[in-house]
Amino acid sequence: MKMKKRILSLTAVLLLALGITSEVNMTTASAASPYKTYTVDGYGSTQETQTAYIAENTVIGFGNEKFKAPNDMTIADDGTVYVADTGNSRVLIGDTKGNLIRKIGEGTLVKPMGIFVTDEKHIYVADHDAEAVFEFDEYGNLLNKYGRPTSPLYGEGVKYQPLKVVVNDAGIMFVVCESNTNGIVEISPLDGGTFLGYFGTNYAATSMQDIIMRAILTKEQRAKMVSNIPSTPDNLAIDDKGLIYTVTRGDENTTLKRLNIAGVNMLQSAKNMGIYDEAPAAVAVGNHDNVYVVSQVGYIYEYNDNGEPIFIFGGNDDGTQRVGLSSLVTSIQVDKNDNIYTLDSDKAQIQIYSPSEFTQKLHNALYLYSKGKYSKAREPLQQVLEMNSLFDYANKAMGRCYFQEEEYDKALTYAKLAVDTDGYSDAFWETRNVWLKKNIVPALGIILLLYIIYKVIQILDKKKNILAGPRGGLNRLKENTFVSNFCYSKYFMRHPIDGSYGIAREGRASWLAPTAILVIFMIEYVVNKYLCGFLQKTVREGRYELASDIGMIAIAIIALTACNYLVCTINEGEGTVKKIYTYFCYSLLPYIVFTPVNFVLSHILTNNEQFLITLVTDLIYIWVVVLVVLGIKEVNNYTGKETAKIIGLTFFTILIVALLIFIIYVLWAQVFEFISAVFGEVVYRLGY
């Protein structure tokens, strides 16, 4: 009995030790991650988040066969890994544990750069130096060799040096060739390889400067300019629907493309919010309508179906040889379990990353959402948000789920948390429709009642003069100098030429009334900036910079007034400081009058109707500029040509003053730093 107790106690201790060891190992692995994981919030800024993928291990070869400068790989549904072992002129086939299955292509392949395997286990190899695409069966028997297309449409003198290849269900090959700027070469397997044309050609970037230069230069000068030719895609992939994905360096927001059967990019350039890599190496399609892009130095980007970034992780090896960091990546693949494989040509190894629990839950939610199971998708999304409540992508997806289930109030809440303007606009549209259906009749009744009351008061005033008292008080108030000058700003806004004459020659210039208008402008600017409708807001929620905003406006008015006065004085202008200050402040009245209209509209309009706000905003800016120009012209008694000159000189003077202030600031900072260093040294010496 005692022996039995001892055995049980020993077993319990061993189990406890194993549990502790397992927990410690897991914690250590997470803490020892050699890279950080980032996501993109609703404002387009990268934020650190939980580890999305964990670097598990590396594969440096299959069996006793080591990789040598490998350039491409692919993974079959059964987990078999196919590697284009470029340095050894062969293809190695193995499993993820590093076991060798077979070698193929020895003696046939010269410089295999790309590889693709169909569902029937046909192996296509893009061979750069052999200038052909080879087709093997799963056992390595050569089935076909597709050389340079003989069609004249291919282009006379255009080389055929295949780098990458993918094949659709019909057996049509899409081949990326080195330096072929015409696009992806599309080849049918019929008749030993029939050239079908070029596919997904990139556009050549043309700037306005290039257009102007080419228009004014001679033919000889244009010939010396750098040729403006489209970029060649760096790599490609294909999904189950037959859509082609390409990555191209130097194409900025169109670095990643999803091409339909017509070769048209289906990803909107704005969707990835400027998150792209300047040197993409490869692209792979995930299992949840997501896409992976890897850079040459090892940074991995995961995008959703719309091209919106989800995760960014990985990085360049700084010489520490840590698992998860890379030197020269040439390929990326994803297996059915969401494990990521990257091929490092420089290290001659495959890096394997497994998804964390956080990522698995997110992918599960993506899958359920794509299948229309919105209620079920909410559960894993909620779990993701419990792990990271600030993960905007999960908040966005949660809002979209509630929208699909017609719970629009909750959809608005999550869309706002994620700064999802499109989702918010859609949900607000539906919410507004519901409100209008319930309240349109009472609202019209209230408007009608107010109109009737207004008419009754108007009639009674005509008959019995019931508003005589208030009207007399208002007239007496207008006789006040401050009120009179304040109200004169309205006349200046409607009749700027006559209004400018009043400022210049009828004593309408003052300090107090324009300052009151300036204060009202500041208040409206701040209120509209921080409290406008969600779809119009350009600042982060909860972040206020009131002192900076007010200071910026005050400095701008002071700079404009001072610099314009200096320029006008030199150029025989008739305006004094008070007059110039007055017409600058009075010119702000259109903003004061119409900004409340924009403020109200921002709370009741959706994305489809935002053009109304843009229209009102443009009207405000144009009106303000017209008032400023006419004020400068009329108050200073300038001609149109002189006015244009004064405006240019004013802005130039502001620039010079700003530059001088900056130089003084830098010099003073250096002096202050020197004095601080001397003071610190003195204190140190005395203390010593």
pLDDT in tens, 450-479: 999 988 888 887 888 887 778 777 777 777
Phi–psi pair at 385, nearest 5 degrees? -70, -30
Helix (H) or strand (E) holding 123: strand 123-127
Could you list the beta-strand ranges (E) of 453-571.
none
Say whether pLDDT at 7 is over 60.
no
For the stretch 490-511, pLDDT in tens is 999 999 999 999 998 888 899 9
Tell me the two tokens of residue 87: 């340095």
Lowest mean pLDDT among 202-206, 336-340, 462-466: 202-206
Tell me the two tokens of residue 244: 């082609």
Tell me the two tokens of residue 655: 């620039």
Q: How confident is the model at residue 175 (pLDDT cuts 50, 70, 90)?
A: very high
CB atoms within 10 A of CB 121: 14
Tell me the two tokens of residue 274: 């400027």
Judge whether 561 and 577 are in contact, CB under 8 Å.
yes
State the average pLDDT over residues 654-677. 86
162 sits in the region (left: phi over 0; alpha: psi -120 to 50; else beta) called beta
Say whether pLDDT at 660 is over 70.
yes
Judge whether 116 and 134 are in contact, CB under 8 Å.
no
Tell me the two tokens of residue 194: 């029939």
DSSP 3-state percent helix, strand, coil across the chain (nearest 5) = 50, 20, 30
Say whether pLDDT at 12 is over 80.
no
- Please tell me which residue, 231 or 35, carries the higher pLDDT value: 35
In this predicted structure, what is the pLDDT of residue 586? 95
Tell me the two tokens of residue 424: 């918010």
Judge whether 630 and 646 are in contact, CB under 8 Å.
no
Q: Checking DSSP bridges between strand 349-355 and strand 340-344, what pairing results, if any? A: antiparallel
The string over 395-404, giving b where at least 16 C-beta atoms fall within 10 Å of a residue's C-beta and e elsewhere, is: bbbbbbbbbe
Judge whether 298 and 316 are in contact, CB under 8 Å.
yes
Judge whether 418 and 402 are in contact, CB under 8 Å.
no
In this predicted structure, what is the pLDDT of residue 25? 29
How high is the mean pLDDT of the chain? 87
In this predicted structure, what is the pLDDT of residue 17? 40
* Closest to 417 in 3D by CA, of 444, 395, 402, 394: 395
Tell me the two tokens of residue 478: 């207008």
Say whether pLDDT at 322 is over 90.
no
Whole-angstrom Cα distance, residue 553 to residue 6?
Answer: 82
Whole-angstrom Cα distance, residue 426 to residue 137?
Answer: 51
Sequence length of the chain is 688
Distance spanning both ends of the chain, measured CA to CA: 74
